[in-house]
Amino acid sequence: MMNSTPLCRWACLGLLIALSALTSLPAQAVPSFSRQTGASCSMCHTTSFGPNLTPFGRDFKLNGYTLGENKLPPVSGMVMGSFTNTQKGQNVSDLPPNNGFNANNNFTFDQASLFYAGKIWENFGAFSQLTYDGVADRLALDNTDLRFADNFAWNAHDFVYGVSLNNLPTVQDLWNTTPTWGFPYNGSPLAPAPGAAALIDGGLGATQVGGATLYSMIDRTLYAEAGAYTTFAKNFQQAMGAWAPDQNQIDGGAPYWRVALQHDWDGHYFAIGHYGFRANVFPGGDKSAGTDRYTDLALDATYQFLGNLDHIFEVKTTYIRESQELYATRALGGTAFTANQLNTYKINAAYTFLQTYNLTFGYNRISGNRNMDIYNTDAGYSLNGRPDSNYFTVDVSYVPFGKSSSYLAPWLNLRVGLQYVAYTQFNGISKHAEDNNTLLLNGWLSF
């Protein structure tokens, strides 16, 4: 449990809350979106709060967050806190320093955020998040997506088109299968987590990179998007609170692309798609030996039953295959092998009752080839040198607000959740993998 808190943590938190109070405005599901459109949060979100979108929510994002009219500045706020228990206590030295955490059973103030979320002018809108991280004791720009969008009809076809300026691949994505907004929608800041991850799935930090993409939706069926990303300059990252000297840095521009097909049959919504990312990267920011090359290719699919909003059923899945050509890492002595491969598979199924009560089951698998240089015991992996992890997630949540008849709608929203993560394999280790099992109780308030 946190026994002491640095003065600057409370100063930053106080500033965020004060700014929110001065504007007297709400957050994501952000209530500023709800105020702008005149629609309840449950129109955009299957559980009335959180990232998981309905078709209406995807259309709202596609059209640049500009549907409806702003009567007040689109500003919102959010605070999150949690309690974490792991099956076996962790080494205190592995937890964030100088915060007085115990080896187990820790309460944390996770974060406070300010959002500018909604129409800026005509066809230009934004979702931008400034976050104070209560565990890392850091204030930084978080997920940000600035959009211009418009539409036209041609030859009996409807086109929505636009451009997104954002700070992480998949922040701008419409589907909750891609890494940024995928399940689980929140997690413990203190729980152990698998060490291996694809570059597009956690290998790049928000506000460390930025990019622009062009996109179009044709006849509400075919979606296509393409663009590129690069690493922000050191001075910009420092100004935004995101600089880390050992971060992976992209050399030049890294292309990103996305295609998807969607269709709705009387409340049965289906989507299937592909997304990809290719980057030449200076490992750990070291530019003395050239670059490594990462190619991430992914498939994803979504099914939602929304024919009866009292009972919503969903299944979402994605598979990411990452090919790594580790030329620079090998030259620097980090590995004896140039070629490496990492596979990530995710699937989750959810049931939501009255857009208030939600139960979600998820399964994740990470696997790859043996590499004793990268996946070694010093880095927390097993003796076999494999990155493999398997785990199941059960998440139960309660969202009392967010409907049109809710108390103080659209000025208040709340999500209370209980989550359990169970490992059958962790960083290549099957024996005692369950020591990393995690119970999380969390609260998530927007206003």
DSSP-derived secondary structure for 66-126 = -SS--SS--EEEEEEEEEEEESSPPPGGGSPTTS---SS-EEEEEEEEEEEEEEEETTEEE
100: tokens are 């007085």
Kindly report, residue by residue over 181-219, the tens digit of the pLDDT: 999 999 999 999 999 999 999 888 767 899 999 999 999
Is the residue at 2 inside a domain? no
Element (H, E) at 10: helix 7-23
Please work out, in degrees rounded to the nearest 5, the angle formed at the alpha carbon of residue 349 by the alpha carbons of 31 and 42: 20
Is the residue at 291 inside a domain? yes
Closest residue by Cα to residue 177 from 365, 321, 358, 316: 316
The dihedral sign for the CA sequence 203, 205, 209, 211: positive
The CATH code of the domain that includes 435 is 2.40.160.10
Which domain covers residue 34, as residue numbers? 7-446
Is the residue at 58 inside a domain? yes
How far is residue 25's CA from residue 343's CA, in Å, rounded to a whole number?
43
Is the residue at 1 inside a domain? no
Please work out, in degrees rounded to the nearest 5, the angle formed at the alpha carbon of residue 347 by the alpha carbons of 365 and 366: 15
Is the residue at 231 inside a domain? yes
How far is residue 110's CA from residue 7's CA, in Å, rounded to a whole number?
16
How far is residue 333's CA from residue 337's CA, in Å, rounded to a whole number?
10
Reading the chain (447 residues) residue by residue, the pLDDT tens digits are: 333 334 333 333 333 333 333 333 333 468 888 888 888 888 999 998 889 999 999 999 999 999 988 777 889 999 999 999 999 999 888 888 767 899 999 999 999 999 999 999 999 999 999 999 999 898 988 999 999 999 999 999 999 999 999 999 999 999 999 999 999 999 999 999 999 999 999 888 767 899 999 999 999 999 999 999 999 998 988 887 778 888 889 999 999 999 999 999 999 999 999 999 999 999 999 999 999 999 999 999 999 999 999 999 999 999 999 999 999 999 999 999 999 999 999 999 999 999 999 999 999 999 999 999 999 998 899 989 999 999 999 999 999 988 878 777 777 889 999 999 999 999 999 999 999 999 999 999 998
Is the residue at 38 inside a domain? yes
Give the number of domains in the chain.
Answer: 1
Closest residue by Cα to residue 211 from 263, 252, 262: 252
Determine how β-strand 413-425 pairs with β-strand 389-398.
Answer: antiparallel
Is the residue at 417 inside a domain? yes
